[in-house]
Amino acid sequence: METTERKNLSTEQQNVNSSAIDDKSISEILNIINAEDQAIAEKVNAALLEIEKAVELTTAAIQNGNRVVYVGSGTSGRLGVLDASEMPPTYSVPADWFNGIIAGGDEALRRSIEGAEDQPESAVTDLQTFGLKSGDVVIGISTSGAAQYVKSSIEFGKSIGAKTVYLICNEKPYLSANADVVIKVDTGPEVITGSTRMKAGTATKMVLNMISTATMVRLGKVYGNLMVDLMAVNDKLVDRGTRIIEKLTGVDYDTANAKLFEAGKSLKTAVVMINKNCSKVEAQRLLQARGGFLRKVIE
């Protein structure tokens, strides 16, 4: 069911503040873009209640052994894949906790396949191939709410017992979907009319960052604001992990570094080993007994 006409979508309106942007200097162009971008955080702030509801769904799903899958087309799909791909290296979580599916498949990550958003049957096929099941969370992303692929993904998820979230960047979507949570971030007319990779894309990334980060915090992947569940898989992360161990335990850099390697490059395990003066196996047991929450172990 269409809830509004395309021409009435705020993302399709002409922005009066940039109506003569083609006649501006580089400095003026950049200032116009920057001024428009500054309003995005306030628009996201207005949707915090719905974002909170989404985080409750994603946290509960993962705690129950289920998964989260972002579904989108074009820029929306690429942002979903981006956010999902960052979870394993940042928080040492299984690769299937957060997932990204884009209309048109992986090829659409690099090359525009715009017609893919108009193929609702492909969404069902893609989610079936993914193995979507009851209890998973489908987060459909469509800035205008006009992607049939996204609407279909929400409807299919709903039909098999998955929880559903609809993220749009208009007051009303072009295509309605009976989602459990609807996040509306009304970003308004774009600097370049209809170019939703700009303000709407920025808002989308902010919301996805909030959902995934808040979920990780609630699952014990953060201590204070430190990334304590990272796995030191490269030189940068070895150094970061060593410095975090220093900060949390008070030992010197070399001691922290040695303990990190003794812990199999698991920062959280290394901290417990030092704090409790115990073996790697005992540290792992203590963490497991407390759901992986470092604070509950060392405090």
pLDDT band for 117, please (50, 70, 90 cuts).
low
Query: What CA–CA distance (Å, rounded) separates 9 from 135?
Result: 33
pLDDT for the residue 2: 46
Tokens of 116: 């893919």
pLDDT band for 110, please (50, 70, 90 cuts).
confident
Query: What CA–CA distance (Å, rounded) separates 237 from 243?
Result: 10
CB-based contact 199:37 (threshold 8 Å): yes
Where does 235-298 sit in CATH, by number? 1.10.8.1080
pLDDT for the residue 92: 86
CA trace torsion 15, 17, 23, 28 (10° rounding): -130
Query: What CA–CA distance (Å, rounded) separates 261 from 267?
Result: 9
Catalytic residue at 117?
yes
pLDDT for the residue 120: 77
Give me the catalytic one of 12, 36, 117, 155. 117
pLDDT for the residue 1: 38
One-letter-per-residue 3-state SS of 145-208: CCCHHHHHHHHHHHHCCCEEEEEECCCCCCECCCCCEEEECCCCCCCCCCCCCCHHHHHHHHHH
Give me the catalytic one of 86, 171, 246, 262. 86
What are the residue ranges of CATH 1.10.8.1080 in the chain? 235-298
Query: What CA–CA distance (Å, rounded) separates 95 from 51?
Result: 23
Residue 109 reports pLDDT greater than 80: no
pTM of the model: 0.89
Domain 6-218: give its CATH superfamily: Glucose-6-phosphate isomerase like protein; domain 1 (3.40.50.10490)
Nearest to 220 by CA among 111, 123, 93, 30: 93
Q: Region 172-193: what's the mean pLDDT?
A: 92
Residue 219 reports pLDDT greater than 90: yes
What are the residue ranges of CATH 3.40.50.10490 in the chain? 6-218
pLDDT band for 225, please (50, 70, 90 cuts).
very high
CB-based contact 260:267 (threshold 8 Å): yes
Catalytic residue at 86?
yes
